[in-house]
Amino acid sequence: MHVLAADILSFSYDRSGPVLRDVTFQVEQGEFLSLVGPNGSGKTTLLRLLDRIYVPSHGRISLFGKPMESYTRSALARRIAYVSQDSGSTFPFTVSEVVLMGRSPHMGGRLFESGHDRDIARRAMVMTDIEHLADKPLRSLSGGERQRAFIARALAQEAQIILLDEPNVHLDIAHQVDVFSLMRGLNTTSGVTVVSVSHDLNLAAAYSDRIGVLHLGTLETIDTPAEVLTEGMIDRVFRTRVRVDAHPAGKYPRITLLPAGEETV
């Protein structure tokens, strides 16, 4: 059974035309799927549809074989965690309070977090390297630190599926690798399914089982990184000349930008 399945999915914000058109794909349990594509291709919109922030104009989404609309919001939150690319907050919450918010779908009628909830939140902060910031106000943090706090909140949610919209935004190189390695580890050790939007094709190639390419609102292709990330596809979709070869550290492609006018590397 697919954990997520989109069937002929379309979405429009207004009468100007669809942002997504007839998108069909499935996601398996424990898979790491990356969605790539130019700005405005519909990647963030698709993630928001998968979390039912938006409702499709046409088509349907299934979650564990059931129509997504059959789930209550609380039941959905126990299965899907979503981290947006702009999770700024003007409220005076501390980092630990924000991370503990991830426990709310599991609290039922309880008004206060249990020791178990706090242990899970603390573990999530350790995993994202922000435990030392637990008592800091969220709004006092850098963009990268805030991003890690919201990723920790998603981990504390203990969902079976994590949706990440540009998880490496604001992060330095070390924490970009840490976050992708953490998500990949959750795939292999806990069977957590990850769907990530990324503009970094090399990170997507290194960590993904499959990559889906969105272009002009349609799903152009979805396959393994080696099959998808070709020079021809990147030239056609991104209008950018690159050289693609095998990465020396693994069995996945490496993308190298070519400066304008350069034909060889």
| CB atoms inside a 10 Å sphere around CB 18 | 17
Which residues are paired to 10 by β-bridges?
A: 58
* pLDDT, tens only, 193-206: 999 999 999 999 99
Kindly give the parts of the chain with pLDDT less than 50. 265
pLDDT, tens only, 84-121: 986 656 678 999 999 999 999 988 767 678 999 999 99
CB under 8 Å to 76, separation ≥6 — which residues? 51, 52, 63, 68
Whole-model pTM: value is 0.92
Torsion sign (Cα): 31, 82, 127, 168: positive
Complete domains list, the chain, with CATH: 31-54+69-229 (3.40.50.300)
SS (H, E, C) 87-115: CCCCCCCEHHHHHHHHHHHHCCCCCCCCH
Angle, CA 88 vertex, CA 15 and CA 90 arms, to 5°: 110
Q: Do 90 and 98 touch, CB atoms closer than 8 A?
A: no
CB contact at 8 A, 107 and 113: yes
